Amino acid sequence: MNSVIIKTNLVCKSYVTDGEVNNVIKNLSLEIYKDDFTVIMGSSGSGKSTLLYLLSGMDSITSGEVFLNYKNITKCKENEMAATRKDKIGFVFQGINLIPDLTIRENILSPTYKKKMNKLIIDKKIDNLLDQMDLSEHQKKFPSQLSGGQRQRAAICRALINEPDILFADEPTGALNSQAGESVLDIFTKIHEKGQSVVMVTHDLKAAVRGNRIIFLRDGRIDGELRLNDYENSTAKKREAVLYDFLMERGW
């Protein structure tokens, strides 16, 4: 059974700038399922990044409720929330935000620093990740010495080092050329096949069809969703065509 991993109930998020209130997310109720690779699409400014921050507990909501594994995270204290994020959530940001003064290895290890974990186990985990992502030979370099694709793969390693239940990614291929983008997407496909939940924001059709559930956001509200066929029963081209029609119907 495809169980619910995140549920939101009438969530609102507003920003106040110069005394003016901007309601960015409006009474949004949504369920995210554990076995899905969920994709959030919508035009620029529709609230995709904001929604991803709310779903992952990275930002606080203005009103409503967010449940992670049936636990109401809206009521969590900040230190409790920080621990939950570290344990359960990996986040790949829009625009790669590695720490410039740390090496690639140190960047990837940074989420483990405050955890009581056996160093040998962590070393083994990071060595595996570096190997899988083809980064072993770059681990002692600094972010500025790597290509965009390598930096993005390092950011993904950092998001995966604590083996999160859910991986969130905001436009993970946005800054990459198509070849580097494909290799990053292959990693997401593998993660999903291994049984981890993935929630990704993208504006790229090729990236979106890696998912199986597409949610379309318009002006802070959900304006339709689409379930794509299993990979076994359809080609990427067919999936792209179905998604393209769905998006065109919404004036994308």
Ligand X SMILES: Nc1ncnc2c1ncn2[C@@H]1O[C@H](COP(=O)(O)OP(=O)(O)OP(=O)(O)O)[C@@H](O)[C@H]1O
Q: What residues make contact with Mg ion under the rule CB under 5 A? A: 49
DSSP assignment letter at 165: S
* Closest alpha carbon to 108 in 72, 69, 151: 151
Rounded least distance, CB 94 to Mg ion, Å: 5
Tokens standing for 153? Answer: 């793969």
Q: Which neighbouring-strand residues pair with 170? A: 201
Q: Among 38, 46, 162, 212, indicate the residue that binds ligand X (CB under 6 A).
A: 46
Measured between alpha carbons, how far is 93 from 177 in angstroms, rounded to an integer?
A: 17
Residue 47, binding choice from Mg ion, ligand X, none, Cβ under 5 to 8 Å by partner class? ligand X
Task: Tell which positions 167-226 bind ligand X, by CB under 6 A.
Answer: none
Question: Which residue sits closest to Mg ion, CB atoms considered?
Answer: 49
Q: Which is nearer to Mg ion, 46 or 107 (CB)?
A: 46
Residues 129/157, Cβ–Cβ less than 8 Å? yes
Q: Which is nearer to Mg ion, 9 or 94 (CB)?
A: 94
Rounded least distance, CB 58 to ligand X, Å: 12
Measured between alpha carbons, how far is 206 from 29 in angstroms, rounded to an integer?
A: 27
Measured between alpha carbons, how far is 37 from 199 in angstroms, rounded to an integer?
A: 6
Q: Which is nearer to ligand X, 130 or 243 (CB)?
A: 243
Residues binding ligand X (CB under 6 A): 15, 17, 22, 24, 42, 44-50, 94
